[in-house]
Amino acid sequence: MKRLYFLLLFVSFSSLAQNQIALNDLSAFDSPTKNWTIEGRAKGNISDSLLQISMGNGILVNTLRQGKYHREDDLKFKLNHGDIHFKIDFMLPKGANSGLYLQGRYELQLFDSYGKKSVKYNDCGGIYERWDEKRGKGNEGYEGSAPRVNASKAPGLWQHLEVEFQAPRFNANGVKTQSAIFKKVILNGVVVQENVIVSGLTRGSLFDKEAAFGPLMIQGDHGQIAFKNIWYETYDLPSVQLGKVRFQVYEGKFPDYQVGNAKVVQSGDLDKITQKAIDLRSDFLTKFDEDIEVPATDTYQFKTNWTGSGQLFVDGQLLNKGASWYTQSIYESIKLEKGTHHLQLVYAKDFPWGPKSLGLSIKRVGAHWVDVHERTSLPDPEAVGMIELKAESEPVFQRSFTFHKGIKKTHVISVGDPSGIHYSYNLKQGALLQVWKGKFLNVTQMWENRGEPQTSEPMGVVLDMDGKFPLVVDHQNQLDSLEAKDLVYKGYRIQHGRPIFKYDWKSTGLQIEDYILPNAEGTGLLRKIKIVGASPTKSNVQLIVSNATDFAELNSNMQSANSNEYNVKWEKGTAEILKLGNHQFQLRLPLLGEEFNYQIIW
Partner 1 sequence: MKKSLYILACLLSFSLLAQKKNVPQESDFYEIKTLPIPKEIYLEIGGIATLPDGKLAVSTRRGEIWILENPYQLENHQVSYHKFASGMHEILGLAYQDGVFYCSQRGELTKVSDVNRDGVADLYEPVYQFELSGNYHEYTYGPVFDKNGDMWVSLNLAWVGFGEGKFSKWRGWFVKITKDGKLEPFAGGLRSPAGYSFNADGDLFYGENQGDWVGSGRVTQLSKGDFAGNPGGLKWAKEPNSPFKLTLEEIPDNGNPMYMAAEKVKNLKLPAVWFPHAIMGISTSDILQDTTGGKFSPFPGQYFVADQGQSKVMRMGLEKVNGVYQGFCINYREGFQSGILRERFGLDGSMFVGMTSRGWGSTGKDEYGLQRLVWNGKNPFEIKDIKVQKGGFVLSFTQPLNEASVNKLKSYALRSYIYKYQHQYGSPIIELKNLPIKSIRISDDKKQISMELDGMRRYFIHELKFPGLQSASGDNLLHETAYYTVNEFPSNDIAVNTWKSIAMEEEKAKKNDVVLEKPKQDKKTTGLISESVAQELLKKHTCVACHAKDKRIVGPAFEEIAKRKYTDQQILKLVYKPNPANWPDYATEMAPMSHVPAGDVLKIAKWINSLGNRKELENRD
Q: Which residues pair with 349 in a beta bridge?
A: 284
Nearest-5° angle of CA 484, CA 487, CA 491?
Answer: 90
Which residues, in sequence order, are CB contacts of 258 under 8 Å at separation 6+? none
Nearer CB in complex with partner 1: 479/494? 494
SS3 134: helix
Is residue 40 within 8 Å of residue 71, measured between CB atoms? no
Site membership for partner 1, residue 492 (CB under 8 A): yes
Give the separation between CA 225 and CA 156, rounded to whole angstroms.
10
Q: Which range, of 74-82, 181-189, 451-459, 592-600, touches partner 1 by CB under 8 A?
A: 451-459
Site membership for partner 1, residue 449 (CB under 8 A): yes
Site membership for partner 1, residue 484 (CB under 8 A): yes
Nearer CB in complex with partner 1: 443/525? 443
Q: Which range, of 41-49, 94-102, 141-149, 445-453, touches partner 1 by CB under 8 A?
A: 445-453
Nearer CB in complex with partner 1: 253/490? 490
Site membership for partner 1, residue 396 (CB under 8 A): yes
Site membership for partner 1, residue 481 (CB under 8 A): no
Q: Which range, of 80-88, 449-457, 466-474, 514-522, touches partner 1 by CB under 8 A?
A: 449-457
Largest CA distance in the chain: 89
Among 25, 133, 452, 474, the residue binding partner 1 under the rule CB under 8 A is: 452
Site membership for partner 1, residue 413 (CB under 8 A): yes
Is residue 549 within 8 Å of residue 585, measured between CB atoms? yes
Min dist. Cβ of residue 393 to partner 1 (A) = 13
Site membership for partner 1, residue 593 (CB under 8 A): no
Site membership for partner 1, residue 187 (CB under 8 A): no
With left for phi above 0 and alpha for psi between -120 and 50, is residue 573 left, alpha or beta? left
- Amino acid at the residue 316: G
**Reduced 3-state DSSP string for 372-393:** CECHHHCCCCCCCCCCEECCCC
Among 499, 518, 524, 573, the residue binding partner 1 under the rule CB under 8 A is: 499
Q: Which range, of 179-187, 197-205, 213-221, 346-354, touches partner 1 by CB under 8 A?
A: 346-354
Q: Which residues pair with 458 in a beta bridge?
A: 441
Report CA torsion sign: 288, 293, 297, 299: negative
Nearer CB in complex with partner 1: 71/493? 493
- C-alpha count within 13 angstroms, C-beta hemisphere, residue 219: 23
Site membership for partner 1, residue 450 (CB under 8 A): yes
Site membership for partner 1, residue 401 (CB under 8 A): yes
Give the separation between CA 41 and CA 131, rounded to whole angstroms.
37
Question: 491, exposed or middle or buried, with CB in 10 Å at 0-12, 13-18, 19+?
Answer: exposed
φ/ψ (deg, to 5) at 9: -60, -45
Helices (H), 271-397: none
Site membership for partner 1, residue 408 (CB under 8 A): yes
Is residue 481 within 8 Å of residue 429, measured between CB atoms? yes
With left for phi above 0 and alpha for psi between -120 and 50, is residue 122 left, alpha or beta? alpha
Site membership for partner 1, residue 489 (CB under 8 A): yes
- The size of the chain, in residues, is 602
Q: How far apart are the first and last CA of the chain?
A: 58
Site membership for partner 1, residue 264 (CB under 8 A): no
Q: Which range, of 234-242, 487-495, 525-533, 555-563, touches partner 1 by CB under 8 A?
A: 487-495
Nearer CB in complex with partner 1: 50/494? 494
Among 40, 255, 354, 509, the residue binding partner 1 under the rule CB under 8 A is: 354
Min dist. Cβ of residue 379 to partner 1 (A) = 13
Per DSSP, 7 falls in state: H
Min dist. Cβ of residue 488 to partner 1 (A) = 9
Among 95, 238, 453, 590, the residue binding partner 1 under the rule CB under 8 A is: 453
Nearer CB in complex with partner 1: 183/428? 428
SS3 447: helix
Site membership for partner 1, residue 253 (CB under 8 A): no
Among 241, 267, 410, 584, the residue binding partner 1 under the rule CB under 8 A is: 410
Site membership for partner 1, residue 386 (CB under 8 A): no
Min dist. Cβ of residue 473 to partner 1 (A) = 24
Min dist. Cβ of residue 394 to partner 1 (A) = 11
Q: Which range, of 60-68, 270-278, 407-415, 537-545, touches partner 1 by CB under 8 A?
A: 407-415
Min dist. Cβ of residue 266 to partner 1 (A) = 17
φ/ψ (deg, to 5) at 481: -155, 150
Give the separation between CA 185 and CA 121, rounded to whole angstroms.
13
Min dist. Cβ of residue 478 to partner 1 (A) = 23
Site membership for partner 1, residue 428 (CB under 8 A): yes
Nearer CB in complex with partner 1: 196/265? 265
CA neighbor of 420 nearest in space, from 142, 125, 149: 149
The Cβ of residue 536 has, within 10 Å, a number of other Cβ atoms equal to: 9
Give the separation between CA 331 and CA 320, rounded to whole angstroms.
8
Min dist. Cβ of residue 514 to partner 1 (A) = 14
Min dist. Cβ of residue 446 to partner 1 (A) = 8
Nearer CB in complex with partner 1: 191/280? 280
CA distances from 588 to 230, 348, 432, 553, 598 (A): 34, 58, 16, 14, 11
Min dist. Cβ of residue 283 to partner 1 (A) = 13
Site membership for partner 1, residue 327 (CB under 8 A): no
CA neighbor of 569 nearest in space, from 580, 579, 556, 578: 556
Q: How far is CA 144 from the centre of its chain?
A: 23
Min dist. Cβ of residue 401 to partner 1 (A) = 6
Is residue 551 within 8 Å of residue 585, measured between CB atoms? yes
Site membership for partner 1, residue 411 (CB under 8 A): yes
Give the separation between CA 155 and CA 393, rounded to whole angstroms.
27
Min dist. Cβ of residue 594 to partner 1 (A) = 22
Nearer CB in complex with partner 1: 55/407? 407
Site membership for partner 1, residue 313 (CB under 8 A): no
Nearer CB in complex with partner 1: 68/496? 496
List interacting residues with partner 1 (CB under 8 A). Answer: 351-354, 396-401, 408, 410-411, 413, 428, 447, 449-454, 484, 489-495, 499
